[in-house]
């Protein structure tokens, strides 16, 4: 089980999935709509404080989860710094006059949005999210596909981890040449294993008279209007900070 999945199950706020999803997805919408230069950093700090001090998730888990998309974000923002112009047949590359501003805006806006998604990821388990979506009358097909993809990714992740550990025990990554060879074998074998396990999972579901619904046992959670009011106050403060 991944660390993020573990903390989403055992954190202190696990009994409030409705409120946590409302705050997380509401923060995602605000991050995309409001001025990122005024609300992005406060939103990231709020998500970090609520996740670590409130839900009890270790700061290391939050930071490590944020670092994964941060690399792609920073690499993608570099393209804003340059502009390409065609003079004749030869393209000319130069620094864009507003490149730094656009890159900063993209990094701040995306960082705030990602922090909201990381907050949901670390505080609400996938099964709880599926339960909330069902009770909010989301399409059944959407929730079932979400559950199947989630389970399949867990299976692939477990296979990847065990295969990588087996190669490492046999000194498969002792040198550059062996590392490239082992990585190629791992990628080819993982695809075959993934297809095989997906086929076996389909056969197992059909053998158990699968009718299109995967029901799981979940506890009923009461919606807290006190927490709902606090969320509205936080959102109102962010909107006010964006307008000042």
Copy the structure tokens of residue 239. Answer: 């909107």
Q: Give the global pTM.
A: 0.81
Distance of CA 99 to the CA centre of its chain: 27
User: In this predicted structure, what is the pLDDT of residue 213?
Assistant: 67
Q: Judge whether 151 and 143 are in contact, CB under 8 Å.
A: no
Report the C-alpha gap between 117 and 111 in whole angstroms. Answer: 10
Q: Judge whether 51 and 119 are in contact, CB under 8 Å.
A: yes
| Residue recorded with tokens 């069902």 | 134
Mind listing the pLDDT tens digit for each residue in 179-222? 888 888 888 888 888 788 778 877 887 887 777 666 666 677 77
Q: Which residue has the higher pLDDT, 156 or 46?
A: 46
Mind listing the pLDDT tens digit for each residue in 130-164? 888 888 888 888 888 888 788 888 778 888 888 88
- Average pLDDT value for residue range 70-76: 86
Report the C-alpha gap between 186 and 159 in whole angstroms. Answer: 10
Sequence-separated (6 or more) residues with CB below 8 Å from residue 117: 24, 28
Copy the structure tokens of residue 155. Answer: 């299976």
Q: Whole-number mean pLDDT of the chain?
A: 86
User: In this predicted structure, what is the pLDDT of residue 215?
Assistant: 67
- Average pLDDT value for residue range 160-180: 86
Copy the structure tokens of residue 157. Answer: 């992740």
Bridge partners (DSSP) of residue 91 are: 86
Environment class of 188 (CB within 10 Å of its CB; exposed 0-12, middle 13-18, buried 19+): exposed
Per-residue pLDDT at 1 exceeds 60 = no
SS3 87: strand
Q: How many of the other CB atoms lie within 10 Å of CB of 61?
A: 18
Per-residue pLDDT at 165 exceeds 60 = yes
- For residue 95, give the H/E element and its range: strand 90-95
């Amino acid at each position: 089980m991944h660390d993020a999945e573990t903390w989403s199950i055992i954190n202190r706020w696990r009994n409030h999935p409705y409120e946590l999803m409302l705050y997380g997805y509401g923060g995602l919408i605000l991050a995309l709509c409001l001025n990122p230069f005024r609300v992005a950093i406060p939103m990231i700090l709020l998500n970090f404080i609520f996740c670590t001090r409130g839900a009890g998730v270790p700061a290391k888990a939050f930071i490590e989860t944020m670092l994964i998309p941060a690399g792609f974000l920073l690499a993608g923002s570099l393209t804003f710094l340059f502009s390409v112009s065609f003079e004749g047949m030869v393209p000319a590359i130069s620094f864009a006059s507003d490149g730094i501003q656009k890159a900063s805006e993209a990094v701040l806006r995306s960082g705030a949005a990602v922090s909201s998604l990381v907050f949901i990821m670390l505080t609400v388990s996938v099964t709880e999210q599926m339960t909330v979506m069902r009770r909010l009358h989301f399409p059944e097909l959407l929730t079932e596909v979400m559950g199947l993809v989630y389970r399949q990714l867990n299976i692939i992740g477990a296979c990847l981890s065990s295969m990588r550990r087996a190669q490492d025990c046999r000194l498969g990554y002792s040198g550059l040449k062996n590392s490239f060879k082992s990585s190629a074998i791992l990628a080819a074998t993982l695809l075959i294993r993934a297809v095989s396990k997906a086929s076996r999972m389909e056969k197992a579901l059909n053998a158990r008279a699968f009718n299109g619904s995967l029901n799981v046992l979940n506890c009923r959670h009461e919606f807290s209007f006190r927490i709902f009011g606090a969320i509205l106050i936080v959102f109102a403060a962010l909107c006010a900070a964006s307008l000042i």
